[in-house]
Each structure stands twice: as structure tokens, then as C-alpha cells.
A and B are shown apart, each in its own frame.
Chain A
Amino acid sequence: MRPDAAAALEARATTLTFGGVLRSEWTKIRSLRSTVWTLVATVVLTIGTSALLAWAVSAHLEPSFLADVDPVRDSMSGLMFGQLTVAVIGAMAITSEYSTGTIRTTLTVVPRRVTVLTAKLTVLACVVLVCGLLCSFVSFFIGQSFFANATVTDRDGAADTVTHLDLHVALTDPGVLRAVVGGGLYLAAGGLLALALGALLRNTAAAISTAIGLLFVVPLLANFLPSAWEANVVKWLPTNAGSAIWSLRPTTGDNPMLGPWTGYGVFVAYVLTALLAAAVLLRRRDT
């Protein structure tokens, strides 16, 4: 092996670089069929549920609801489900390395552990962002086709009166492009939160259930808070803060929301805190 192969090798520069680690992490993600399928599932689930809910809302409006209709948010509600499969991808990007033991090979070859985490989160963020943008744009356009011909039923009188309204918005309308792109940004940040939890907990089931608990269950539980609290607390919860970026209206139900970028900033702050904790522990812990 030595003479020819080694000579060839010594001629090449073999140093550990961040770019190299990025390529490595990209190879890891794309070479697992399970990741690819989970991404496909995310797209199908998000677009499917978005379309279903957009149809349901647009076909069953009542005059009193009209002020609450958000033609962007209501055509991308499937993102709430998409974030579940994204959480699985994010968590497993690192927990599968722990469960299989690959993490030891990874950290032996790349002993700079924060570099590994940074490369992982960069690749994950890009992959989920692309997938998320696909979801949000397709959902948006399907939703607008429903909202272009929304059905409003007035049940006030003895007989229902049905009218049809065009409620759709265009990408060029104020805030709309931001909200649709925001759908992709929201999923990307959610994926990173799951990655951080995966790195902290080093266990697939624990990381995924914690992520789903934070993103999905906590907002539901918040509904049971006393209403005086609700207005002040709910908007700061990760999901609610993060969702401001993909909404046009500044409320969810009766509760005020943070501004789009403020809300997303708060969400990202949660994510960064978790990532920072993950980086500190990754450096400190034995593997």
C-alpha cells in the first residue's frame, strides 16, 4: 500500500477544515434513506394538512370570523404538523450518531467538537430551510386558490345566506412575502431546536418527545392558563413567538402576538440558548 498510495496522499493537502466537515455532514445527511424519506414526509404532511385546513376555513366562514381571517397563516397551518417531522430529522441528525456509536468515529476524526456541531447545524438549517420554503410556497399558493373564492355563511336570519368573497392576497402585498418565507425560516429554527435537544439529551426518544412537548404541547397547555396571564405569557412561548413571522394578523385567537421579527428573534434566542448549552456540554462530556 505504502509506496504509490502514500506518495499520492502526501502530495495532497490533508488538513482538517471547516469546509471539509461541512461536506462530511452533508454526505451523512444525504446518504441516509431515512432522512430523505422524513423530508418527503414533511413536505407531504405540511402541504396536505395546509390545503385541507385552508379549504375548511375558506369554505366555512361566518361574518363574525372575517376580521380574524389570515389568508397567509390559514393557508400554511400544516407547518404546525410539519414541525413534528422536522423535529425528528433535527434530533436524529445527532442522536442517531449516539445510538449507533458513530459519534465516536466522528469525534475521533474531528476532535474539534464545536466545529462538528456548527457544521451539523449549518447543513441541517439549509436542508430544512429548502424543504420548509417548498412547503410554505406550495401551501400558500394552494391556499390562495381557496381564499380567492371563500364561502361566507350568515346564520343570523331564519335562513342562511351564502355569499362568496375574494379574500386572497398576492406575494407582492405588504408583509406577504415575509410571511411565506417566514414559514421556511420557522421550520429551520424548529429543526435546530431539536438538534440542540438531541445533542443535550443524546437519546432519540427523549429528544424527540422533548422537542414535540416544547413546540406542540406547551402552546396547547397554555390555553388552560387564567386569561389574565394568557395575554402576557402565551406570546412568549416558543411556538407562538416563532409563528409571528408567518402571520399577517398580529393575533392568535384573542391573544396579541409579538411583531413578526421580534417574535422570530425570541424563537431564535431560545434555539441559540439551547445550542450554546449543547456546545458547552459537547466539549465537556466524555463520549
Chain B
Amino acid sequence: MIEALHLSKRYGERLAVDDLSFEVLPGRVTGFLGPNGAGKSTTMRMIVGLDAPSGGSVTVCGQPYTQHGSPLSTVGALLDARAVHGGRSAYDHLLSLAHTHGLRRRRVQEVLELVGLAEVSRRPVRGFSLGMSQRLGIAVALLGDPEVLLFDEPVNGLDPEGIVWIRGLMRELAAQGRTVLVSSHLMSEMEHTADDLVVIGKGRLISSCTVDEFIERNCRTEVRVTTPEPARLVALLEEHGGTVRSEPDGSLVVGGLDAVRVGDLAFDGSVRIHQLVSVQASLEAAFMELTRSSVEYQASPSVGAPEAEVRS
């Protein structure tokens, strides 16, 4: 369980996180989404006390992270997979962390096997690929068998097999009753993994809900129709309140009317129809739409940065 209340972080002139409140529940995978620079990493650093909030607060399992007696078994965090001394072996890196909490060598071996690095665990980390570093970062996160897991863009650099593996792992961790917060700037990574979504843009909360609610609220359903008599059909549909745009392939995409209504109207008007399907706008598209508007919304009132810069 993570609770953020009016969390803010200012770096000089820049407000990286702006009055952010949200809750991350146990037993679920929560996707933390936002475009690059939205403030996801900053928020995660504040959750584990690396950066001090400029305002507001965040607690983990009821108290500030830094006050837990056993931090390693409270939160496991993968913040930056490359943050390992290249001259050290994966085993020694994990061992040095395990010692802090009196964990045994056996536990180090266990997590190395779990992430599939047991074979290379004695080699210096500088020879690791990004994917292997991600696996090591995940081993660090799992080391203390924590109640809460934070993964900052864990999929970066993983091969397809690794991506499938980490999705399965996150689902499994949540199924065990743990709290799992995973950040990403791509909705496509989250849509089949997350139960809940916390979407931010320019440091502000845009949406906090379940994935299903997000789809319901933000993904318009449209109707794609092909006809040899587009002009007649467009006139007919617009007369009945539909919005129509034509696609490059010659088909029409209709908003504001469902497929049944479009079919009936065409039948009544004696317009021939060759294809009629109902399509849902993708989550990705909905997410981009939402975050883009947040950028525009942010541009005028706040810091007063020129619009061109804010958009970039």
C-alpha cells in the first residue's frame, strides 16, 4: 500500500511533481503512466526517500519509508538497472545488500536463480547487457521478499522473452498479495499487465482508476464502414447526428452512432454497404490524447514557459 498526498517536488524553477495524490493498492499491479519527463521517476525516488518532497507526503504501509525498521523487506525497488559498480560481480553486489539486513548467502543464491543470472553471477557486471542488468535490478528488488515493489521502466532493454517473463512475474507478485507499482511511458506495456492505472502528465495527476474504468471513460467506440456510395452515406449519417471522416483506404469512420444504427440507416436509405465493423479506439491512442491535452492545459497558467518549449 502506497499513499501519496499532495506530493510535490520542485527542482529550481521546474515543478517536476505537482500536488500529486494517489493510492496504490496491495494485490494489484498498478501501472504508473506518463510521457517522458512527467515525473514518474521523481515520484518513485520520493517514495523511497531518495529525494525529499518539496510539499506533501508519501507513506508506504502506513508510515514514511525511511522510518521502517526493515526497509529491504518493506520495499524492493528497481529504479535504475545500470546503477551497479561495473567492477563488482552480481553476487557481491547482492551480498553487500543482503548483509545490511542480516540475510543469508542462500537468499542471494535464490534470487540469482529466480532471475536467471546464477550462471554469470561471479562475473563483473560491466560485461552485462542491459537486459541482464535489468534482471540484476529485479533480483535486488526481490532480495528482501518485500511487501511493496517499485519498478521504474523495467521493460527497457529486455528481449521479448524477458518482457513476457517480467509481466508474468509482476502478475505473480500481485497475486501473492503484494503491492506492485510499475512505471512506463507506453500504454501498450501496461494494458495486459496492470489492474489499475495512475496516469500523470507534467507532474500532475490526470487519471487514477482501474484499467476497465479507463477504457470505459476514454476509449470512444467508432464504426468503420465501406460503401460504394460514400457521398450518400455521409449525408445520411450526418443528418442523423453522426460524425464521419474518411480514411485513406476509402472507408468511413463514424462516431456518435453505433454499428446497429449505422446499418439500419443505410438500409432505410437504400445505400449498399460492403463492410460494417465496430472498433474501439486503442488504449494507447486514448492515453496519448489524454497526456497531450495535459501538456496543453499546463502550458498557459503555470511557470509561464513559452509554449513551444513545453510541447517539446
Is A107 part of the binding interface, using a Cβ–Cβ cutoff of 8 Å? Answer: yes
A14/B72 contact (C-beta < 8 A), A20-B102, A27-B95, A109-B97 known = yes
Cross-interface CB contact of A108 among B71, B89, B93, cutoff 8 Å: B71
Residues of A within 8 A of B4 (CB): none
Report yes or no: A100 in contact with B83, Cβ–Cβ below 8 A: yes
Q: Mark A259-287, 1 if CB is under 8 A from B, else 0.
A: 00000000000000000000000000011
Report yes or no: A104 in contact with B49, Cβ–Cβ below 8 A: no
Cross-interface CB contact of A110 among B71, B83, B102, cutoff 8 Å: B71
Complex: chain A residue closest to B125, CB-CB: A100
Is A31 part of the binding interface, using a Cβ–Cβ cutoff of 8 Å? Answer: yes
Is A102 part of the binding interface, using a Cβ–Cβ cutoff of 8 Å? Answer: yes
Residues of A within 8 A of B72 (CB): 14, 16, 109
Is B84 part of the binding interface, using a Cβ–Cβ cutoff of 8 Å? Answer: yes
A101-138: which residues lie under 8 A (CB-CB) from chain B?
Answer: 101-102, 104-105, 107-112
B72-107: which residues lie under 8 A (CB-CB) from chain A?
Answer: 72-73, 75, 77, 79-80, 82-89, 92-93, 95-97, 99-104, 106-107
Residues of B within 8 A of A10 (CB): 145
Q: Mark B56-71, 1 if CB is under 8 A from A, else 0.
A: 0000000001101111
A14/B96 contact (C-beta < 8 A), A108-B48, A111-B66 known = no
A108/B50 contact (C-beta < 8 A), A5-B110, A32-B87 known = yes
Please report whether the interface of chain A is mostly helix, strand, loop or mixed according to DSSP: helix
From residue A33, how far is it (CB to closest CB) to chain B in Å? 6
B175-189: which residues lie under 8 A (CB-CB) from chain A?
Answer: 176
Report yes or no: A16 in contact with B71, Cβ–Cβ below 8 A: yes
Is B114 part of the binding interface, using a Cβ–Cβ cutoff of 8 Å? Answer: yes
Expressed in whole angstroms, the Cα–Cα distance for A97 and B83 within the complex equals 8
Complex: chain A residue closest to B83, CB-CB: A101
Report yes or no: B100 in contact with A20, Cβ–Cβ below 8 A: yes
Report yes or no: B84 in contact with A100, Cβ–Cβ below 8 A: yes
Is B144 part of the binding interface, using a Cβ–Cβ cutoff of 8 Å? Answer: yes
Residues of B within 8 A of A158 (CB): none
A12-37: which residues lie under 8 A (CB-CB) from chain B?
Answer: 12-17, 20-21, 23-25, 27-28, 31-34
Is A209 part of the binding interface, using a Cβ–Cβ cutoff of 8 Å? Answer: no
Report yes or no: A109 in contact with B85, Cβ–Cβ below 8 A: no
Cross-interface CB contact of A13 among B45, B88, B102, B107, cutoff 8 Å: B102
A-B contact pairs, 6 of them (CB 8 A): A14-B102, A14-B103, A24-B99, A28-B96, A100-B84, A109-B100
Binding site for B on A (CB under 8 A): 1-2, 5-6, 8-10, 12-17, 20-21, 23-25, 27-28, 31-34, 96-97, 100-102, 104-105, 107-112, 286-287
Given contacts A9-B107, A15-B102, A111-B66, 16 further A-B contacts (CB under 8 A): A2-B176, A5-B110, A8-B106, A10-B145, A14-B144, A16-B101, A17-B102, A20-B102, A24-B97, A27-B96, A100-B85, A104-B80, A105-B79, A108-B71, A110-B71, A112-B66
